[in-house]
Every structure is written in structure tokens, then in C-alpha cells.
Amino acid sequence: MDFSIERLRADVQGMGPQEHGFTYLDLQRTPTRTGRLRGWILSAKDLNDVAGMPTTLGNAKRTYYPAVSEPFIAKLEKQGAIFIGKSSTPELGLRVDTEPVDLPHPDNPLYPGRTPGGSSGGAAVQVARGLVRAAQASDGGGSIRVPAAACGVVGFKPAGSSLGTEGFITRTVADNAFLHGHRMITPRARIGLLLEPLFAATRVEAHHLRAAREAADRLRAAGFEVVPIAPYPQAAATFAHFREIFTSRFAGLPQAEGYAAWVAQQGATVSAAELSAAQRHVRHLPELLAQQWRVDAIITPMLSADPPLRGHFLSLPHAENFDAQTRWSPWASLFNMAQLPAISVPWAIPAHPPVGVHVGGITLSDAQLLGLAHILHP
């Protein structure tokens, strides 16, 4: 495919923001450096600062104009990448939809009228429509992997040192590995297949279960040992601690309204002792998972169901909204809490758009997990 600026300029003509997912677009930008990413045209999530572009943080009232690019963006620019715009995100990246305040809400290319997922939904729309080869994104609870699954593309969350990490949504696993500077490694690994929801009681639609089973069968055929696993006994505690850590980051948030205010209020109730206990749980979680499951990676569905209508989550009372988001992707936040790598790859289903298969590393490195995922989506 042609991913030149000239091609992008032609493609976006006649498209509105609901179709292209940009909150800002500058097709006159040129690379400032020459490096290994020369020729890569990327968008940045509208939570991330790019010099010369407005940052809205998903709310038009929060718009500001940064003088410099933030470190993750600047590193890519120094390697020759061009950032030509900002991709839509919900306010502060708080939800798994993409419905920013006083800004257009992008539509799902595979499911017109439905959410593209979030919070990196604009990025997923741009990659799914073929407007860009890759889009920068971030993931603090599934925010790369959920929209990638909803839009039929690849979303990789690397291992990190906190709840959130920076990454990319791409069309291929190989492109994601290249952008992160990894050479994929095919590991020797024991794989666990987890079909039961982990952090919520919900029904998983049959075609999402089918995709995970078929992915497991492909790895088995490739010589991997695949075993069924069940939720670990401490899963409820993990999710309670996730909620404490996630919401506490927004305690005292200024100028908060609606769902953002509710999240801030929840965070304000988290005590120092509760936060300390949550952080202890995080430190021990990778070892706990390895001991409980005795596998090197797990496969789950990425989503429990096809994307809901745009506006669905925000139509709910705030507490129910939070719970409904968890039911839609009841596995994603485990890998944010454990600070381990995870990826969603599209899986073909007959007479249906592709659905996401979720692969998470327990003992694997980023390069090894990408190598495993490449077998599923070569």
C-alpha cells in the first residue's frame, strides 16, 4: 500500500473527522532528522505532545499548545518519523470508547455507527482505513488493544514499569516490532488458553470464543504445548487494586465534569494504605501468575462482544459505565497491572469482520511475544 503524504492528502479529501479520526492534521510537515524511521508517517494520540500541534486531552476546553514534543514522540522524530496529526481520544484516555468532549466522535470502519473502541480509537480508525501505516497510541487498561480488536488491526502493549505504556497500532505484527526496535524471536513456550472472563461476570459471544480456540489450535499445530487454564484465585483482588491505582491518578483533577469528575471522586477515596497495598500486589503479580498458571503466555478473546453503538457507554450512569467497559474487555487490564507485554491480533471469521485474539506474555519478553503473535498474524 501507498502510505505517502500525497496519498493521505488524496484519501482524506471528502472525509470528515468522524471518518478519518484526526483532531488535527498538518500535511505540510517534513522530517527534521534522517534515521531508521525515515519515510514513516505517523499520527500521535491527542494525549501526547507534538511540537507545533494543539493537544486537547480529549476535551476541547483543555486545549493547549506545547513548545516541544514529549520524549517518546521526540525519540521517534529523531529517528526520522513524521507526525502529521493528532488522533482522537476520549477525555484523558479514561474510557474504552472514543467520544471526546466538544470534538467529533470517530466511527468504526468495520461497524458503521458503532464505537471504534478506545481510548486510542482515532489511531485504530486511521490504521484500519489505510490512512497511515502506523499510529502512536498508549495503553493504561487496554487502550491500544481494545480499539485494535474493534477495528480489525494489530495493537501491541509493551512491558513497562507502570500501569500505562506507549506503543503503536499497526496493520502487521512485523511493523509493530520494527517501530519498537525489536527483532522478533520465536520462543519455546507453553501456552494457556483462558476463555472464562477474568475481571467481570459476562457472556462471551461464540465467534470471539471461536477465534481464541482457533488461534490456540494454530499454535498447537506449530508445535507449542497448549493447555486450558482458569482464572486465578486472586483475580478479584487484582482488579480491585487496578481500580484503586487507575482512579487515584486523577484525584484532585481540576475542571472535571461528567465521567471524568466521577473517576476523580473515586480516586480521592483511595487511602495511602490502600494504594500501598495495591503497589505491593503489582510487584508480586508476575510471579503469582507464573506460579498459578505455569505457562509462558496466555491466549484469550480480546473482547467479549462486537463493538456497541457509539454513545452506549456514556448513556449509562458513571458506575455502570465503568462496569460495562470492564465486561466488554474483562482480560485487558491484567497486563497493565502485571506490567507485562500483550498484543491483540485480528482473526478471520467467516461472514463476519475479524475479531481480536489477545496474547499476553507471562514469562516472555516483548520480542518473544511478538514472535509468537507473528505466527498467528504473519
Q: Check: CB of residue 343 under 8 Å from CB of residue 156.
A: yes
DSSP strands (E only) in the chain: 22-25, 41-45, 82-87, 134-139, 154-157, 165-170, 190-193, 225-228, 297-301, 342-349, 352-361
pLDDT tens across the length of the chain (378 residues) = 899 999 999 999 999 999 999 999 999 998 888 899 999 999 999 999 999 999 999 999 999 999 999 999 999 999 999 999 999 999 999 999 999 999 999 999 999 999 999 999 999 999 999 999 999 999 999 999 999 999 999 999 999 999 999 999 999 999 999 999 999 999 999 999 999 999 999 999 999 999 999 999 999 999 999 999 999 999 999 999 999 999 999 999 999 999 999 999 999 999 999 999 999 999 999 999 999 999 999 999 999 999 999 999 999 999 999 999 999 999 999 999 999 999 999 999 999 999 999 999 999 999 999 999 999 999
- The pLDDT assigned to 31 comes to 84
Nearest to 86 by CA among 112, 61, 60: 60
- Return d(Cα 121, Cα 99) in angstroms, integer: 9
What would the grid cell of residue 8 be?
A: 493521505
Q: Where are the alpha helices (DSSP H) in 181-306?
A: 206-221, 235-248, 258-268, 272-293
Bridge partners of 342, per DSSP, are 157, 360
Q: Check: CB of residue 187 under 8 Å from CB of residue 371.
A: yes
CB atoms within 10 A of CB 322: 20
What would the grid cell of residue 225 be?
A: 504445548
- The pLDDT assigned to 258 comes to 97
Q: What are the sequence ranges of the domains in the chain?
A: 5-180, 190-234+274-347+357-376, 237-266
Note the CATH number of domain 5-180: 3.90.1300.10
- The pLDDT assigned to 30 comes to 86
